[in-house]
């Protein structure tokens, strides 16, 4: 399940035009990146919850590489835990892989499944490990059990880790109709002494929750290429495109460099421009948080 019903307030003003799962990173939307990775790993079905721009979500979901059902949260977003609870009928029985919509994650999904099975935990969180104790937002013991979430500790910590926004959730877990998986489900389970596990299966990951982090994810997607020009993109001969992503059908006019810029599909940008995201209605200035 992809959790796509959040309001995306940290990503504002980009989410005035698209929901978080549909912001483009490189040559496709976040949702399309996630769906492609799931299909390659052998998943056969996807459920996505939606609130704002539900019509956009349904349109994209119809073209994904695996059958996808959209569950619309009409009144208001129900939170990460409430989103899974509200989609139970669509998900069917059994454990469920839950993927945050604002995370692009390089991970071994098969290894995550194996870890969840071997731990027999109520939930297994995919993490990037290797941190000293008390660093990162997850702490684990010598066996890989979670003993710290956020600022709450529940046992002797062997190492720290960073949660990658992907988890496998057991069907045995009771979920609230509204609420947060970490704050309202996982921490109370740890308080009761129940087992949660961490699987160190995450490589690079990007939290695209802010415009700066979103720009960073696009620059990382370029992976050494000077730039990316989508199908039917038109660039003025007086413009030099450097370390930028120009979406399909977009147009760049003016003269001078377009550097560290993301131009959304079908929109018009004007050079010179640097460290920015160009949407249909505005230019959002942002600097990547890391080189």
- Taking the C-alpha atoms of 163, 209, 290 and 255 in order, what is their torsion angle to the nearest 10 degrees? 150
The conformation of residue 42, written as its DSSP 8-state character, comes to T
Give tens-digit pLDDT for 210-244.
999 999 999 999 988 999 999 999 999 999 999 99
Question: What pLDDT does 93 receive?
Answer: 87
Query: How do residues 259-291 score in pLDDT, each as one tens digit?
Result: 999 999 999 999 999 999 999 999 999 986 544
Distance CA 220, CA 291 (A): 9
Residue-wise pLDDT for 106-115, tens only, equals 999 999 999 9
DSSP, collapsed to helix, strand or coil, labels residue 82 as helix
| Tens digits of residue pLDDT in 137-193 | 999 999 999 999 988 999 999 999 999 999 999 999 999 999 999 999 999 999 999
Q: Which of 135, 139, 123, 134 is nearest to 184 (CA)?
A: 123
- Give the pLDDT of residue 75: 87
- DSSP letter, residue 240: E
Neighbour count for residue 21 (Cβ, 10 Å):
30
Residues of the chain with CATH 3.90.550.10: 2-207
The DSSP line for 122-152 is SEEEEEEEEEPTT-SSEEE-TTSBEEEETTE
Q: What is the pLDDT of residue 289?
A: 59
**Residue range 245-261, pLDDT digits in tens:** 999 999 999 999 999 99
Question: What pLDDT does 8 receive?
Answer: 84
Question: How close are the terminal C-alpha atoms of the chain, in Å?
Answer: 32
Return d(Cα 203, Cα 180) in angstroms, integer. Answer: 25
Please tell me the predicted confidence (pLDDT) of residue 223. Answer: 87
The domain over range 2-207 is classified in CATH as 3.90.550.10? yes
β partners of residue 227:
244
| CA distance linking residue 86 with residue 64, whole number of Å | 22
Average pLDDT over residues 70-93: 94
Asked if 275 and 287 touch (Cβ cutoff 8 Å), the reply is: yes
Distance separating alpha carbons of residues 167 and 164, to the nearest angstrom: 8
User: What band does 29 get if pLDDT is binned at 50, 70 and 90?
Assistant: very high
């Amino acid at each position: 399940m992809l959790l796509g019903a959040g309001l995306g307030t940290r990503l504002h003003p980009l989410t005035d035009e698209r929901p978080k799962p549909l912001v483009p990173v490189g040559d496709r939307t976040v949702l399309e990146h996630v769906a492609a990775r799931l299909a390659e790993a052998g998943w056969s079905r996807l459920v996505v919850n939606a609130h704002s721009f539900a019509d956009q979500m349904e349109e994209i979901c119809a073209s994904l590489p695996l059958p996808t059902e959209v569950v619309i949260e009409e009144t208001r977003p129900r939170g990460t835990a409430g989103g899974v609870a509200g989609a139970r009928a669509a998900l069917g029985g059994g454990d469920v892989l839950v993927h945050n919509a604002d995370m692009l994650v390089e991970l071994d999904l098969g290894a995550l499944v194996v870890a969840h099975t071997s731990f027999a935990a109520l939930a297994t969180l995919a993490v990037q490990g290797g941190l000293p104790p008390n660093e990162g937002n997850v702490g684990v013991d010598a066996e890989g059990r979670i003993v710290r979430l956020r600022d709450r500790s529940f046992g002797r910590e062997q190492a720290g880790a960073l949660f990658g926004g992907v988890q496998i959730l057991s069907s045995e877990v009771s979920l609230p109709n509204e609420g947060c998986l970490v704050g309202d489900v996982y921490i109370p389970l740890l308080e009761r002494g129940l087992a949660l596990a961490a699987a160190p299966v995450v490589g690079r990951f990007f939290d695209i929750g802010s415009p700066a982090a979103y720009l960073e994810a696009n620059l990382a997607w370029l992976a050494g290429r000077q730039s990316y020009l989508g199908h039917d993109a038109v660039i003025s001969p007086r413009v030099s495109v450097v370390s930028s992503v120009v979406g399909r059908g977009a147009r760049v006019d003016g003269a001078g460099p377009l550097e560290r810029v993301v131009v959304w599909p079908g929109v018009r940008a004007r050079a010179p421009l640097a460290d920015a995201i160009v949407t249909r209605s505005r230019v959002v200035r942002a600097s990547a948080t890391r080189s």
